[in-house]
Amino acid sequence: MGGTPSNSSKSPDENLESLSLIWLDAEVDNSRENIDVQKRLRSIINYLKTFQDPVECEKHIRSVPDGDRMLFIVSGGLGRDIIKGLFTDKQQLVTRIQSDRERKKKGDEPILITVQGQSTSELNGQFVHSQIFIDVLLRIKSTPADKDELISRCSTIYKGNESDLKVVREFSKKYSPDKALWWYTRESFLYRILNKALRVQNTDLLFLFRFFIVDLQQQLNNNRCSSPVRLYRGQMMAKDELKVLCNSVDQFISINSFFSTSVDRYVALGFLDPSSDDFGQVLFDIDADPTVTTKPFADITKLSYFSNEKEILFMLGSIFRIVGVRNDNQVWIIKMVLCSDDDHNLKAIFEHMKNEHGGGEKNLLSFGNVLADMGKFDEAEKYYLRLLDQLPPDEPDIARCYHGLGNVTDEKGDYDSSLEWHEKSLKMRIKALKPDHPHLAPSYISIGCDHFNKSDYPKALESYNTALEIIKKAFGESHPDIAMCLNNIGCVYERQKNYSKALECHQQALDIRLDYLPKDHPEVAQSHHNMGNIYRCQGEYDLALQHYNESLEIKTKSLPPEHRDIALTLENIGNIYKDKKEYHRALEYYKKAEHIYCHSLPPTHPSVLQIQEYIRYLS
């Protein structure tokens, strides 16, 4: 008998969990013993990548996302200086990895924490949008097809891993809403995949998981704590993340995952690893009063898979304030208090954005709109198209989907497609509504934007003025949509070099927006940005910088950190410094803008190509 054995234990290319296993060995796939060990390892850590070439192995390791953890197996002398143990017996190797996996279940599981300053100048838009995202996600009604799709996805991911596939099949057959916490606390694919999906904001997975998240929320609500309690959580944290928290005393933090704690301080300390050089030991010391929050937390001891852990679980998105940090024998004690959802200084902008999306039950259109607001245009497009496939003919939401698709293709720089979608939306609306109905105005505004982006300024102006007349007739002379029209008309005048008229329009738009919108609303930032453009064109660089900086400050409060609109203002600040021949500062802002553009836009987008050309010119 001979030949190379077949390996059906290979992992899929996609890793939905936070932990992975890397095995570098010239014979890793060439012996039956190694193939058998791979199968046993995948029952402990599903994502196993094997390499025979050190260069390819290093390339893969460098591609692993920030926050993911790796265990590394290497043969011979290559790894003597970088791995914790040397094992010649394969069973000892499997046992050690099982031990490491057990230790990493909770204390080493990465969590996503958004830090917010208590003063409004330090607020960050990621905080607002993560809360809005959760709010809308949990109000979209689930269907049995969602669970079926999740099961199918997991079955593919765990193909060849019989131990996890067995649990997937069990979940498929036996899951019920009253067992959500039991399933979440069980060491299984659900806990591992959901936690990573929350940390990296995997939209597709979170959409499929929403039935499970809603069930968890309901169980936490039904069993919420009724009296104040002192709680603890042991956490191994990357040193840069720990530094941020240590510098955040008296600031708010949002935990964008379910947050597990214990009433027993020593249980929490047990999750720490004093031998780790790469991670800091953190003990969260938390005071939680159930009367000051709208998000539930509950003693889940009787509902948990493990009934001896004295576990208190917080709903995802819970908000805390750091009140003190100290170091005690190499353990960082971070003292926190649970806050009401209304305590933080983002309440006004949060409530306004929440109202913009409306109350009640949501659908895929609402989800697409939230994703578009977050600058996730490819994902928004996907959900608009998905809804179109589900809607019957002449359903009003079809026109809204067309409009949303026009908006995202516009953001992606495909102005011809954007115009087609917006014209289809307008055609449907004209068919169903009166000629002066206010719902027609957004279509005329967007069609005007398409003509503007295609440099057809007379047509843009015609569309904007049509929208303006409709809005004035419906709402009077002062309304946020009037401000939008004035803003866009001002941009046309700027391109036509009629700067006095442009500035007049932008100032009127800003005045209306400040009357009707929270001062940190993105549309207020838009007005400041456009006024900065006019002053730059007039050579008034100090005034331009003043408005750009005001715009940037608001955008960083109200938009996610990698939103394209932030990059646009950074680029224009760079333009000011280039005009002033301060090339070093210009390059600094251009590089910040490029980082965001490259994360939010396709590589062929005009904004990406232009900023890269600026950087090459100044480098």
452: its two tokens: 């503007």
How would you list the strands of the sheet with 229-238, edge to edge? 113-116, 252-255, 318-328, 331-338, 279-288, 229-238, 259-262, 311-314, 297-299
pLDDT over 70 for what percent of the chain?
Answer: 87
Question: What is the model's pLDDT at position 295?
Answer: 87
Instruction: Give the predicted TM-score (pTM) of the model.
Output: 0.80
- Mean pLDDT over 2-11 rounds to 45
CATH class of the region 517-618: mainly alpha
Q: Residues near 172 by Cβ (< 8 Å), separated by ≥ 6? A: 147, 151
Of residues 113 and 154, more confidently modeled: 154
For residues 238 and 261, the answer to whether their CB atoms sit within 8 Å is: no
Please give the CATH architecture assigned to the domain spanning 363-432.
Alpha Horseshoe (1.25)
Residue 13 belongs to what H/E stretch?
A: none
Give the residue range(s) of CATH 3.90.176.10 domains in the chain: 225-349
Q: pLDDT tens-digit profile of 255-268?
A: 888 999 999 999 89
Sign (positive or negative) of CA dihedral 498, 501, 504, 506: negative
Question: What is the model's pLDDT at position 2?
Answer: 40
Question: What is the model's pLDDT at position 18?
Answer: 79
- Mean pLDDT over 319-347 rounds to 85
Which of 68-72, 120-124, 570-574 is predicted most confidently?
A: 570-574
Q: pLDDT tens-digit profile of 195-239?
A: 999 988 899 999 999 999 999 999 999 999 999 999 999 999 888
Question: What is the model's pLDDT at position 1?
Answer: 35
CATH value of 225-349 in 1.10.3470.10, 3.90.176.10, 3.30.200.20, 3.20.20.70: 3.90.176.10
Q: Residues near 380 by Cβ (< 8 Å), separated by ≥ 6? A: 368, 369, 371, 372, 404, 408
For residues 303 and 219, the answer to whether their CB atoms sit within 8 Å is: yes
* Bridging pattern class, strands 69-74 and 19-24: parallel
Among the residue ranges 84-98, 281-295, 424-438, 489-503, the one predicted with the least confidence is 84-98
- Mean pLDDT over 352-358 rounds to 71
Residue 250 burial by CB count (10 A; 0-12/13-18/19+): exposed, middle or buried?
exposed
Helix (H, G, I), strand (E, B) or coil at 217: helix
Question: What is the model's pLDDT at position 99?
Answer: 60
Question: What is the model's pLDDT at position 71?
Answer: 78
Place of tokens 């060849």: 160
Question: What is the model's pLDDT at position 40?
Answer: 84
* DSSP β-bridge partners for residue 282: 235, 332
Rounded Cα distance, 235 and 257, in Å: 14
Helix (H, G, I), strand (E, B) or coil at 63: helix
Helix (H, G, I), strand (E, B) or coil at 147: helix
Q: pLDDT tens-digit profile of 365-417?
A: 999 999 998 889 999 999 999 999 999 988 989 999 999 999 999 998 899 99
Give the residue range(s) of CATH 1.25.40.10 domains in the chain: 363-432, 517-618
Q: Residues near 85 by Cβ (< 8 Å), separated by ≥ 6? A: 96
Q: pLDDT tens-digit profile of 81-109?
A: 444 444 455 565 556 555 655 555 554 56
Angle (CA) 614 617 619, round 5°: 105
Average pLDDT, the chain: 87
DSSP string, 340-393: -TTTSTTHHHHHHHHHHH-SS-B-HHHHHHHHHHTT-HHHHHHHHHHHHHHSPT
For residues 519 and 525, the answer to whether their CB atoms sit within 8 Å is: no
